Chain A
Amino acid sequence: MKWDVILPILIYTFITFIVGLYFNKSLKRRKKSFQEEFFVGGRNLGPIVLTFTLLASIVSAGTFIATPGLAYEIGFSWSITGFTQIAFGATLLGVLGKKFAIVSRRIDAVTITDFLRERFHSPSIVVGGSIATIFFLGAYMIAQFAGGARILEAITGLNYQVGVLIFGVSVVLYTAVGGFRAVSVTDAIQGIVMIIGGIILWIMFMVKTGGFTELVQELIVTNPEMVTLPGAGDMTPRLLFSYFIMFGIAMIGLPHGAVRGMAYKDSRTLHRSIVYSGIIMGLFTVFFSILGPVIRPLYPNIEIGDLALPTLILGIMPGWLGGLVLAAPIAATMSTVDSMLLSTSSSIVKDLYLNYINPKASDQFITKLSYIVTLLFGIIVVLLTLIPQTLIQFIIIYAIGGLASTFFAPIVFGLYWKGANKWGGITSMYIGLFSYLVIEQFFPEPFGMHTIMFSLTLSILSMIAVSLVTPKPSYETINKFWGKA
């Protein structure tokens, strides 16, 4: 086992864990209700933390490991798919915008389902939305943990199960104990670690290798297709375009991302965060994905693409420094999982238990229940991850597509279109979800585009068509979402 590499990663995990636990005190000293503090941090995030927690919830080990890995195999045409997410943070914040922040304060929403419930007044939306959240985010978390532990095992020799336990237990504990504020602040720390990791990596890369010009010229000789578009893979204009739809805008439908649009302090925070989001997402993406193709001339014989970047890191720097840089993908995994864990537990406690099982539960009981559900659900996910997983990348893309198709139209149309009504909401949600599952299963990638193009289009069209032919929403609803008082 490579202790010099693993030690910095473990120390880093431990520090995050301690910082996360510390935020239990802000839960105890809260001024607002427990739910508001635990699930949206008292709606009090500033620009830096908002930016990092939003981006870190979305950026996972995929950005640091899988994208460079595929770019190692396919070439620059795959690096450019990583770039589809750069504008995402700014797009999410701008599209949901202040309207989302104001409305969620009006209706005391702390989850996406809260918002949909008040807007559409339909149990099938609340139940369907919660179940989709729990199912897809649960699967997503398993894939994340598994991906992180698998990489760690390959690089350092740390046993897969031991890795899952160490990272799983620390993430689950600090999320359950510290709630949203712990998640956001640790996300910010993790985001800074990702940037520092990227900078160290680039400095060492420039010092130890001949730089891009030399490496790319070598690449043109050995693997000429890797500098071309579509490249060694099959990156058609249509496929790349559908990635822009999926990773650039449709991911607004991801509940653990969208909920961050409820959590910031004031409009200045939003403005600054929109500006920071582009820059920081740009740094994350460019730093790592661009290195994929040029690892090829340096290490031509890596068999698994995912190991390309770790191989480079350990090849050009001493083990302890490599460990610091490799903390970046681990940080990305942890910061994604903690947000998702909180979103699922809020779905269970708020959306299902409080709405349908026991609406009269006391605040004290809800407090206890939130801790316990977060802990238990987290533990279940960790235990499931102990069973070795295959198909990791498949699960991730599947879950993103499923959630985006389910939630995008109801959230965005519900927020901005007065005509969107209950039946439009229900059909767009279920058509989005089921068309995604069916098309993905039986006709994957129709016309060379990602399935989400079709499920999202169907979902939006059914929202408009059904809303137009069924009765308009009630005055009370519209007044609550648009009215002056």
Chain B
Amino acid sequence: MYSKYNLEEDHRFKQCNLEMWVTIAYYFINVLILWGVPMIMGYKKPANEIYLTLGFPDWFFYGGLVGTVIICILPFIMIRYFFKEMSLEPYDTKDKEGEEE
């Protein structure tokens, strides 16, 4: 649709787009865990049916605390497998094919 620009794109931006989508996915996983788990485990459950895990209501323990640990570990995986180091110079002089400016 935007081919009319006939543009030679900076090759780094493809990787940037990927990283953006990975982060969006991370964000939604975070919502699913921190919002979903407590809601599934505890929503509208009366107090006398709530079990305590290590002193916390179980919905809070698994959704909130275990969930927090998970979303703190996920960025490691994200960076390790999806993110790539690149120059942040305005225009990358070392192109993929090794062309020189």
Contact = CB atoms under 8 A, between A and B. Distances in A.
Nearest to A277: B75
B24 A484 contact: no
A274 B23 CA distance: 10
Contacts of A277: 75
A244 B56 contact: no
Contact of B72 (A213, A279, A472): A279
Given A83-B68, A211-B55, A240 B35 contact: yes
A188 B29 CA distance: 29
Given A87-B30, A483-B7, A213 B19 contact: no
Contact of A418 (B2, B76, B79): B2
B43 to A, nearest CB: 5
A483 B67 CA distance: 41
Contacts of A279: 72
A277 B68 CA distance: 12
B5 A83 contact: no
A228 B68 contact: no
A215 B52 CA distance: 11
Contacts of B9: 482-484
Given A91-B23, A267-B88, A229 B68 contact: no
Contacts of A233: none
A326 to B, nearest CB: 25
Interface in B64-79: 64-65, 67-69, 71-72, 74-76, 78-79
Contact of A266 (B30, B44, B46, B88): B88
A485 B91 contact: yes
A337 B43 CA distance: 37
Contacts of A213: 52, 54-55
A2 interface: no
Contacts of B92: 484
10 contacts: A79-B64, A227-B60, A228-B50, A229-B43, A229-B59, A230-B44, A274-B83, A278-B72, A282-B71, A484-B95
Interface of A: 76, 79-80, 83-84, 86-87, 90-91, 93-95, 97-99, 101-102, 105-106, 211-217, 220, 224-225, 227-230, 237, 240-241, 244, 248-249, 266-268, 271, 274-275, 277-279, 282, 285-286, 290, 416, 418-419, 472, 475, 478-479, 482-485
